[in-house]
Structure 1
């Protein structure tokens, strides 16, 4: 009987361990892409249009690294596939521009998708803040509670409010 139980435990462990490793890999890679998002957000908030294209390409690359087969269910997988496609397309669009206005327009699509992913997937390992600018009616994620407006930069750097706090998971 002990042999059967031990055999069953080993058998089940062979399936559980890879699933846990996949979830950890998804979480780690998602958080890497979130760091790339923050770097791009910070460049736009500090009016650095010359940095934004390379940061957008780094974001696109980080998003591609997230293993789409590691999500816990089909709904999460489908959400990732649709929103990551938007992020990649908008990041590519942003990378082809040197104009802050058009870069910020592309960033709007990236932010909308990232907010949706962060809220639904709950993979962020650090607290994140959903911030909102009432002037432009734009939202974005921030790694700090203090407002750093990527849509208006130095014109209205601290214009906005914290709309939501996403606890670390």
Structure 2
């Protein structure tokens, strides 16, 4: 009988520790997603200097993700995608032209989309949107289109390609 109680206690502690670790990583990943949205919004509203700042913030939030707590397959995916995100965020932050920033943003968007689809950490609904003119996709926190690839020139160009429901 004591062995059964001990076993149940161990299982309870282990599952609690896992759920706390999972919520900590989910929180960190949602901060990455929020930083990504801030960057997308800066580009959609043609704010080049703000976009550079938001790209730096994105890099910091990516570095803050406690990735060692992921299961091995998710850890491998995160490490690959995080490297791509940081490389393109660095490129975006140092770019002197908004067109170059927007091209770098495309290189951030695809790893973000792949990560979100694979790990499913979002606490609210996220929309994958696509611009046929730019031939590129991005994530949006709103269903209405806010095109980061053309900004005010074609703010509403695009469509919702996919809806990723909250976890």
The alignment's TM-score, normalised by the length of structure 1, stands at: 0.96
Question: SS at the partner of 2:166?
Answer: coil
CA shift for structure 1 position 98 = 3.0
1:19 paired with 2:11, answer: no
How many Å apart are 1:15 and its aligned residue?
Answer: 2.1
- Counterpart of 1:128 in structure 2 is 126
Q: Equivalents in 1 of 2:96, 2:57: separation in Å?
A: 16
Q: Which residue in 2 is equivalent to 1:104?
A: 102
Matches of 2:20 and 2:164, distance apart in 1:
24
Deviations 1:48-67 (A, max 9, x none): 00101110010000111111
Secondary structure of 1:12 counterpart: helix
Tell me whether 1:164 sits opposite 2:162 in the alignment: yes
Match of 1:56 in 2: 55
1:75-105, CA deviations, whole angstroms, 9 ceiling, x for partnerless residues? 2111111001100111111111231011101
Note if contact 1:27-1:123 (Cα within 8 Å) is conserved in structure 2: yes
- State how far apart, in whole Å, the 1-side matches of 2:134 and 2:41 are: 18
RMSD of equivalent CA atoms: 0.9
Secondary structure at 2:49 match in 1: coil
- Pick which of 157-166 and 9-18 moved more: 9-18
Name the CA distance, whole Å, in 2 between partners of 1:34 and 1:98.
24
In the alignment, the residues of structure 2 paired with residue 8 and residue 91 of structure 1 have an alpha-carbon distance, to the nearest angstrom, of 47
Contact residue 63 and residue 84 of structure 1 kept, 8 A: yes
Moved beyond 4 Å, runs of 4+: none
List alignment gaps of at least 5 residues for structure 2.
Answer: none
TM-score (norm 2): 0.97
2:38: which partner in 1? 39
Unaligned runs of 5+ in 1: none
Q: What CA distance in whole angstroms lies between the structure 2 residues aligned with 1:53 and 1:157?
A: 20
1:140 to 138, 141, 155: 138
In 2, the alpha carbon distance for the partners of 1:20 and 1:154 equals: 43
